[in-house]
A and B are shown apart, each in its own frame.
Chain A
């Protein structure tokens, strides 16, 4: 569903870009699409309306209509406004300017990821920043919640407040702060029970906790998959306890994360951190400009380029690219390429960042896209002779058998690899035909031959993509 939208968005901006002059109707049409894109990404309706109004005002201003390519200007306005709405460029750090022990209060709905985030925060502050951290769970509601935080603290290598049965959350909070003072902790992270924003009794409780601890940061933890309700949650928590920062969790899912926009808009508090995995180190600073692209389905080219330049060997890449362009790309080059891709992390992560890849991504959804497939491919290729790698066409039945046996794979897997390589070569040829300009215009999605997609259904059920680690 998102892909068609993403395609639509790209289409709208493309149409605008190619126009010389821009009428108000053109802008209105573009705004309609932006509005839909945002709603489909779960940006809350009031936030969408406000956003659209602001963009429209700017878009029909003189500077746009007089600019040389008005379409480009509108696209830029949308993007800039989105980044701005998400908090402007650059990450906002946690505020730790308070006397030790510095209390950090975690609040949010049930199941939003507060306890896991508290553990991650413990690891970050205790490990990377070398602070003395005490984790305390005030969750007396959910069974074993306190134990969960204690176990996470142990994993993170920080202390946790001993569990005393029968204490109320407010009492635990007081005990945590006392312990923090007495034992010289720098930071006390207070994890609270999940609560519904409409539960008056529990909201009053968190108000009291706030009153007795006076936290330097009150972090609202929000699931990136949250729908329109994000507005209500944000408003209720902000009114009750005064949110100072937001943590978006499950950013590693495929939700577009429109809730991020709603949160920022309603609370005025910056998004400070994002959670993107179950491991304790999967806590990252928030980059508005990247989420902006994700919300509109426009990809995160900046992030990709950055990631690529961080990890890729430029010389090697250039050599490969040259070979591709000359149509002299062989299996050795493919193995080299795999090595490079491996350095960049998961393929789906990379696809996320590419514009126009929505279609492909959806066809890959649910399939194992992690790099274990590539490891298999590397193994298979390393079981080939030099001449086989240079001219894969000579690989027939008996060679396949030998290669399969040598790499611990099946003949089917060898077949699949060869097929994929063949498809890739076809793709290279298309790139050559389209040229760089055509590529930019049509997006990478246009290049993908059908064969590149993993086959769904029972036949492909045991494909290399289905293998567990």
Chain B
């Protein structure tokens, strides 16, 4: 999996890259870094969904160190990439199931349509291949055909899927599944949940209930609560993460749909605001397209291709 990771992520990010990279080139090819230039650069960052705060800070840094200088697009790319990577580095923490837990219980949460079920399917396949005994729980008992969707994934990847009746109580189902996974000595229990908007108190309380019920069986559960976030989401992602964190104490993020034209700059703003681990990114519809999140790669991908050619930029990815 290590081999070619960079190029695959790159492939997925290439659109965003070309767009942002191209813009920077247009603005900064041999140009004096004056107020107008800085403003344009700030706008480019905002347009990448980095968020006004992060964009503003990067610009302040540029103003402090490079104001008035003749800069090339190359220098801008390198500096921007370094700045983005610096923010992301502390949160690039892969998800590693603890084999001692038997099972490591993972609750997967998020607003509607972010890709929770697909992400679980991908995770099941990857861990299944690595010999991790995985059981899936179809905890979205609300949406039409959500159970069937997960069951098809289960068949594809050869993982058992525990499901209840439509509109069954998700907490009870999770409890049963936990019992069974423990009895069968499974390594990993992935619990899917119905999508819910973070501003719906009653639905958020339902999530909290799943956790309370799981804890009746084992006080340490769930061992991870993963929030699946759509990369096309704008500034509202901050509110999303804040509320989910407060209500169900999320332990990490998975960012999906990074292969589209969305630039996923919101990840940078989130890293700065919350410092939550970003475990993985989704860069395609294939099961292999769920990849560990790596700060330097992401930053370089976001900023532009030519950065890769810069000799002074050491590879931060030991596996490539």
B232 touches A226 (CB 8 A): yes
Q: Per-residue 0/1 for B226-260: is the Cβ within 8 Å of any A Cβ (1 yes, 0 no)?
A: 00001011111111101100110000000001011
B243 touches A366 (CB 8 A): yes
Interface centre among B49, B239, B247 (most CB of A within 10 A): B239
Interface centre among B52, B113, B153, B230 (most CB of A within 10 A): B113
Bound complex: CA of A229 vs CA of B265, how far in Å? Answer: 11
Least CB distance from A284 to B in Å reads 16
Least CB distance from A224 to B in Å reads 8
Q: Which of B176-184, B193-201, B303-311 contacts A (4 or more CB under 8 A)?
A: B193-201
Bound complex: CA of A368 vs CA of B46, how far in Å? Answer: 33
Q: Per-residue 0/1 for B114-128: is the Cβ within 8 Å of any A Cβ (1 yes, 0 no)?
A: 110010010000000
Q: Does B98 contact A (CB under 8 A)?
A: no
If A196-B259, A198-B15 touch, whether A226 touches B233 (CB-CB below 8 Å) is: yes
Q: Which of A41, A111, A147 contacts B235 (CB 8 A)?
A: A41
B201 touches A367 (CB 8 A): yes
B201 touches A370 (CB 8 A): yes
Residues of B with C-beta under 8 A to A141:
285
Bound complex: CA of A365 vs CA of B244, how far in Å? Answer: 11
Chain A contact residues (Cβ within 8 angstroms of B): what range? 35 or more
A197 touches B260 (CB 8 A): yes
Chain B residue with minimal CB distance to A36? Answer: B52
Q: Which of B43, B145, B262 contacts A227 (CB 8 A)?
A: B262
Chain B residue with minimal CB distance to A469? Answer: B202
A465 touches B201 (CB 8 A): yes
B232 touches A109 (CB 8 A): yes
A223 touches B205 (CB 8 A): no
If A1-B239, A40-B52, A228-B263 touch, whether A468 touches B209 (CB-CB below 8 Å) is: yes
B202 touches A143 (CB 8 A): no
B234 touches A366 (CB 8 A): no
Q: Which of A55-63, A86-94, A246-254, A377-385 contacts B (4 or more CB under 8 A)?
A: A246-254
Residues of A with C-beta under 8 A to B35:
none
A111 touches B112 (CB 8 A): yes
Residues of A with C-beta under 8 A to B225:
none
Bound complex: CA of A348 vs CA of B259, how far in Å? Answer: 35
Q: Does B206 contact A (CB under 8 A)?
A: yes
Q: Does B144 contact A (CB under 8 A)?
A: yes
A232 touches B115 (CB 8 A): no
Residues of B with C-beta under 8 A to A233:
232, 261
A368 touches B201 (CB 8 A): yes
Residues of B with C-beta under 8 A to A177:
none
A148 touches B257 (CB 8 A): no
Residues of A with C-beta under 8 A to B263:
228-229
Q: Which of A228, A232, A252 contacts B46 (CB 8 A)?
A: A228
Q: Per-residue 0/1 for B131-171: is the Cβ within 8 Å of any A Cβ (1 yes, 0 no)?
A: 00000000000111110110111001000000000000000
Residues of A with C-beta under 8 A to B243:
365-366
Residues of B with C-beta under 8 A to A456:
246
Least CB distance from A221 to B in Å reads 10
Q: List 9 A-B contacts (CB under 8 A).
A: A144-B151, A148-B144, A149-B144, A196-B259, A196-B261, A227-B262, A253-B199, A365-B198, A366-B204
